Amino acid sequence: MRILYLFWHSVEDTYRQFISGEIPSDHMYGAIEIKKLGYDLSFMDYRPKGLLGYLFGFINNKYGFRIACLKAILALRNYDIIVVRGTFSTILTIACKVFKKKIVYLDALYAIPQNWLRKLILKMNMKYATGIVVYSKTQIKLWSKLFNISASRFKFLPYTIDVSFYKYSDSDNSFSRPYILSVGRDMARDYKTFVEAVIGLGVDVKIVSIPYLMRDVNLSNPAIEFLEYIPYNKLFDLYSKALFVVIPLKRWGIVYPSGIRALHEALKFRKCVIASHSPILEEYVKHEEGVLYVDPENVQELRKTIMSLLEDSKRRLMLEKKTEGIIEKKYNLDVFATEFGNYLSTLLKEKQK
């Protein structure tokens, strides 16, 4: 079985960063671990480059076509199964039908579009894809019902991280005041509600994100520190010394896997978490099992919950104890690679019958 992993970013740069130890292997979404298991696997960046990339950019962004480069399309003929990481690519879906290849989309379901044409394009891709791997059973129920697609089209595999990469900080860096940490760069993060909830609580807040998500956030408070593009060793330091972690989500963002990586990272560092109520996050960790869930976009409830952990260190320690071993046992990337490899093998056998 020959597997081709396709990425919508410079996968060569990502691989070099992994080899040099700068980033965890989960940035390759299981490709490294699957290859280590003995599978014949290659990977490629399928974006059109140069002038073509510029010309197709508008169409890709407006309609979600994800037009692939010719090199990637022609390469499909040399592989048995194509794994596309990210949004559906109509061109790749059609090309795989023409070449009679299996195509599996990994983590392709995001916010449901409002535009009828984009919905039609999505449904066509879901109908003709061999399989769609998702990180949540909630997604399967929602998308299969909304688009009238058989649930058998979807495969649930839990999101996992490269556990061995995440290590406790051994730096002697100390912070003058206790702080709460929040980490996340996707559009569903609700830092405005979070910052409003901590005003006047006498605790520092450190947010690791991108400027775009901070546009409506009041950062004038000296207790709020915004950090961008920090190296992993500094991130480890922040996690290790934080009182606890907050994952604030917008109400519309709780139906796709926003916050899972931050949840896993926090639990790996034995930190209890306050998170916006999300049926997807609750599939991974239940309420009171190391995580306290609050209503999304509710300043008062979030503030009250933060105060309860600030004032009750025993409760914090109790919640931290419940985080022990969760990530290592259930959400290790090696587990994902084994299950995903078995799934791809099953799809190939179905083809050969």
Can you give the pLDDT at residue 353? 45
Cα–Cα distance between 215 and 220 in angstroms, integer?
12
Can you give the pLDDT at residue 169? 72
Domain 2-160+332-352: state its class.
Answer: alpha beta
The terminus-to-terminus CA distance of the chain in angstroms comes to 15
Q: Assess contact for 265 and 208: CB atoms under 8 A.
A: no
Cα–Cα distance between 190 and 248 in angstroms, integer?
5
Q: Which residues contact 61 (CB under 8 A, 6 or more apart)?
A: none
Can you give the pLDDT at residue 285? 96
Can you give the pLDDT at residue 211? 96
Superfamily, domain 166-330: Glycogen Phosphorylase B; (3.40.50.2000)
Helix ranges restricted to H, the chain: 11-19, 31-36, 50-63, 70-75, 90-99, 116-128, 137-146, 191-198, 232-241, 260-268, 279-284, 299-311, 313-322, 326-330, 333-352
Can you give the pLDDT at residue 341? 97
In the chain, CATH 3.40.50.2000 sits at: 2-160+332-352, 166-330
SS3 51: helix
Can you give the pLDDT at residue 64? 63
Residues of the chain where predicted confidence (pLDDT) is lower than 50: 353
